[in-house]
A and B are shown apart, each in its own frame.
Chain A
Amino acid sequence: MKLPPPDQSILARREEIVGALKAIVPDGVVDDAAGRQVFDCDALAAYTQQPLVVVLPKTRQQVIDVVKYAHAAGVPIVPRGSGTSLSGGSLPREDGILLALGRMKSILEIDYENGCVVVEPGVTNLNITKAVDATGFYYAPDPSSQIACSIGGNVAENSGGLHCLKYGLTTNNLLGVVFITPDGEEVRLGGKAGAQGGIDLLGLITGSEGLLGTVVEVTVKILRKPPVTRTLLGSFDTVQKAGECVAAIIGDGILPAAMEFMDRQCIEAIEAYNAPGYPPGSAAILIIDADGVEADVTDTMQRLAAVIARVGGISVEATDEAQRVRMWSGRKASFAAMGRLQPDMICMDGTIPRKKLPEVLERMAEMSVQYGLACCNVFHAGDGNLHPLIVFDQTKPGEFEKAEAFGADILRLCVKVGGVLTGEHGVGIEKRDLMPEMFTTEEMEQQGRVKCAFDPGGRYNPGKVFPTLSPCIEQGHLHVHGAQLPHPHLPRY
């Protein structure tokens, strides 16, 4: 995977650009090599690139001034929150300003009457919950990185988490944003009432991976914490039965708060790591949470146990909080457990129709043999979101490329069975070149024109999500003649 080649004329102007940024944010420009090194990657650490310069604004006005300057000077911008993207969404550019929003971390307002919180973009996901925890509320989306990831980044990536099935992704919990366009205009979309008065641009910018602008204020819904949460573990002697169980639970009208699937390789790695006591010999297990009022949860637990028994599985309900925590401890340690097998790993993120699970798992096992790389599966079973973990050793020549090829094959398989390339991690740079597996040329161009509506100069996070730079043309249409791709003279990186 490559980024578009840097613009040499921008590199030549580096000193001037740094100076201009220092005039805007005197205490927040990082331009020395050691300082920039800190920002040279996000959580997709296989890719690194030193940014031209890092700027860390503290105020909305500083963001506007930086964006206006970059617009006038024709310099690309890569926005960044906490840098926890798993798809390289905030991988810097050699010729780009890294606009890092981590210092904008004030909670501006907590409004219980209207069930919402207004924050700056650098506030971490978990700190929103912490701010309202004492009064019995929480913010529902809970990506695994919630201790570190910022709400601005969550908006950019439309982050999910364990509880999406019942509570939705970021987009379903967002009421409004204040947004700075690539030419430095401030736009308010939605607000406490969640009303936009026109087409849903809030929905569009959510999950737009920093391609359309920068969010400087976010209003999210908060929910009352469910009074009761209980956990049940189902174990199965075949993957087929576990897959059937997932379909039967959903078909039975149950909407669990979370439903996680782990396969044999994963269970074995976890048992060797922190021994949560998963039933030995299981081909697959499900960990299921039900939440709500007491009677609701009791009823759901009974129905879940009945469904598991019906498909030939064995269920165990956690009888106390300690056991509940132990059941989840294995799932939460799955990355670390796999990390002991080999020094490096990549985590894929396709979503498939749930019914295709046994077929996809079988194919992945075959590929694992074919590539000679171990792969285990953790899976948000409720919503069909797979997280195959491929482990490898980067010091062995060619092994990283092999792991990437394996991962790409898994994602192609997801698309082939009716699924998608990414359920919650984003396309970023990681899956960029796979986009044509899922979209036609016309569909890619349609998305390209949407990008042009916001960023006609193509300066916001270039090189991410789309495999070709989409030139913005006045009438908006690129013609394709025969099999010839539009604008063959343009670099395809």
Chain B
Amino acid sequence: MSKVTNESQAIDFVRQARAERKPFEIVAGGTRRGIGAPVPNLPQLDVSAITGIVNYEPEELICVVAPGTSLPELENVLAQRGQRLGFDPADWSAVHGVSGTATIGGAVSVDAFGPGRLLRGPARDSLLAYRGVNGLGETIRGGAKVVKNVTGFDLPKLMCGAFGTLSVMTELTFRVYPRPSHVAVLAVKDVGPLEGFAHLRKIARSALEPSGLAYLPSGNALLPDAGRGAALIRLEGEETPLQEKIAMARALLGAKLDDVAEGLALFNRIRDGAMFAGTPLDVWRVMIPASEVPRLTAEIAAPLWLGDQAGGLLWLAAPPASASLIRGLAAANDGQAMLLKASDEHRAALGLYASPPPALAKLRAGIKNAFDPDGLLNPGRIT
């Protein structure tokens, strides 16, 4: 393992690897190595020491940070100025049963968006610019440190969810958002999936700007008194406006809405996949049109599951034999099933996502080649 502390060392490492034609794995906190096809027995480039807040300007809504910075540290710095990240990044170390500190670079690389995506989008909607080293050992900057920019190709988008296959990132610029002074978490309890998800979609279609809409089925460990299931609604705002939103939500649903004690912690546990910690089953994150969720959960009949994003994101834990059913249903419904956790053999066999059609595969391979023609960076991780 080689540990680098700055960009120039990262450049040296990549150039050396290129000269020797030696592919490598990029690691920082090491909490997300269990996602995607395994990258076995490769030398590691440890970037966890490329860390720290580079430049934070709250009035510009911009925070520039080194990718090795831990998520809690970054969130804490932003919270002190009443701000936060837009994509509500998750720490999935409990799902993977690993210790270590989740970093912001890792969260961007795997696009670990949380329930707050509903309001401010996934990582790609927050990452305004990056600086990184491509597979040729060159420093490349993409995007810019302003909130509105269309100059040249939007390269930061490519970095989100690329699993480190395109660049060794050395600096990330985020658009950040005001943190509301008040948050409420409400639940419609004792509702089955059909009714529960219908409630959530109704709120999603309203003007209430919810920042979280999730459904927990009966017998779940996160909310034991859910009855037949619970539809959870997270609303935000200043004190008086928030009360108005709550009243509007009640009127809209015409159902009993209970305040959820420790609701914020509950949403954080949903975000971090706490329900799936310790399961021996494969864990999936399946994105599908929200309206299809009740039908698909019934068809898949996973032993453990929950619905986030008003149903647009389904978390599942299922035995390996269910893999083809899950992937097939996702594909048939305009969706994508991401394998979040499985054994090494499974990850190697199933891949992170289903194989793309040939024309799309060709474009993706072309992009990989454009950044890393020698295939040095995290080879095979997402193909």
Contact = CB atoms under 8 A, between A and B. Distances in A.
A115 interface: yes
A451 B356 CA distance: 20
Given A200-B160, A355-B59, A424 B150 contact: yes
Contacts of A431: 151
Interface string B133-175: 0101011111011111111111101101110011000000000
Given A186-B359, A224-B206, A442-B140, A295 B240 contact: yes
Of residues B153, B155, B369, which shows the largest number of chain A Cβ atoms within 10 Å of its Cβ? B153
Interface in A459-492: 465, 475-477
A475 to B, nearest CB: 5
A193 B287 contact: yes
A192 interface: yes
Contacts of B97: none
Interface in B97-146: 121, 124-125, 134, 136, 138-142, 144-146
Interface in A250-276: 250-251, 253-255
Interface string A349-376: 0011111000000000000000000000
A309 B356 CA distance: 57
B320 interface: no
Interface string B74-107: 0000000011000000000000000000000000
B367 interface: yes
B366 A421 contact: no
Contact of A421 (B124, B151, B208, B244): B151
B151 A427 contact: yes
Contacts of B59: 247-248, 250-251, 354-355
Contact of A224 (B152, B154, B205, B369): B205
B68 to A, nearest CB: 22
A157 B369 contact: no
Given A201-B367, A427-B151, A293 B178 contact: no
A339 interface: no
Determine which residue in A250, A294, A380 has the highest number of CB atoms from chain B within 10 A of its CB, and name it: A250
Interface string A214-236: 00000000001111000000000
Given A197-B354, A476-B369, A296 B147 contact: no
B158 to A, nearest CB: 6
A353 B145 contact: yes
Contact of A439 (B152, B161, B360): B152
B335 A435 contact: no
B153 A450 contact: yes
A453 B369 contact: yes
Nearest to A474: B373
B208 A199 contact: no
A171 interface: yes
B276 to A, nearest CB: 19
B307 to A, nearest CB: 13
B371 interface: yes
A416 to B, nearest CB: 13
Nearest to A183: B359
Given A181-B359, A253-B178, A192 B366 contact: no
B270 interface: no
Interface residues of B, number: 82
B249 to A, nearest CB: 11
Interface stretch (A31-39, A145-153, A203-211): A203-211
A384 interface: yes
Given A114-B291, A419-B146, A427-B151, A197 B205 contact: no
Contact of A255 (B138, B166, B178): B178
A299 B180 CA distance: 13
A186 B363 CA distance: 11
Contacts of A208: 153-154
Contacts of A185: 359, 362
A160 interface: yes
B206 A295 contact: no
Interface string B199-220: 0010011111100000000000
A356 B50 CA distance: 29
A159 to B, nearest CB: 9
B353 interface: yes
A199 B382 contact: yes
B370 A446 contact: yes
B206 A192 contact: no
B116 to A, nearest CB: 14
B184 interface: no
A279 interface: no
B289 A296 contact: no
Interface in A162-194: 164-165, 168-169, 171-172, 181, 185-189, 191-194
B155 A446 contact: yes
Given A251-B58, A293-B241, A206 B154 contact: yes
Contacts of B289: 111, 113-114, 191-193
Contacts of A294: 244
B237 interface: yes
B336 interface: yes
B312 interface: yes
B244 A295 contact: yes
Contacts of B82: 253
A438 B145 CA distance: 12
Contacts of B121: 168, 172
Contacts of B83: 253
Nearest to A445: B138
A200 B157 contact: yes
A439 B335 CA distance: 37
A425 interface: yes
Contact of A435 (B124, B152, B334, B359): B152
A438 B143 CA distance: 10
B150 A157 contact: yes
B150 A384 contact: no
B148 A424 contact: yes
A296 B238 CA distance: 7
A450 B237 CA distance: 42
Given A168-B121, A292-B207, A443 B140 contact: yes
B13 interface: no
A254 B178 contact: yes
Contact of A446 (B138, B147, B150, B291): B138
Nearest to B117: A194
A242 to B, nearest CB: 14
B151 A438 contact: yes
Contact of B124 (A203, A227, A298): A203
B151 A446 contact: no
Contacts of A122: none
Contacts of B145: 353, 418
B179 interface: yes
A309 to B, nearest CB: 18
A293 B141 CA distance: 40
Given A355-B60, A446-B371, A418 B146 contact: yes
Nearest to A352: B146
B108 to A, nearest CB: 11
Interface string B357-383: 101101110110111010000000010
B369 A293 contact: no
B335 A193 contact: yes
A429 interface: no
B148 A299 contact: no
Contact of A193 (B177, B201, B288): B288
Interface in B236-287: 237-238, 240-241, 243-245, 248, 287
Given A195-B288, A247-B60, A418-B145, 12 more contacts: A113-B289, A185-B359, A201-B364, A204-B155, A204-B157, A225-B207, A292-B207, A351-B149, A355-B57, A383-B146, A438-B152, A439-B152
5 contacts: A113-B291, A201-B367, A420-B146, A423-B146, A477-B373
Closest 6 CB pairs of A and B: A203-B157, A453-B366, A195-B287, A253-B178, A197-B336, A449-B370
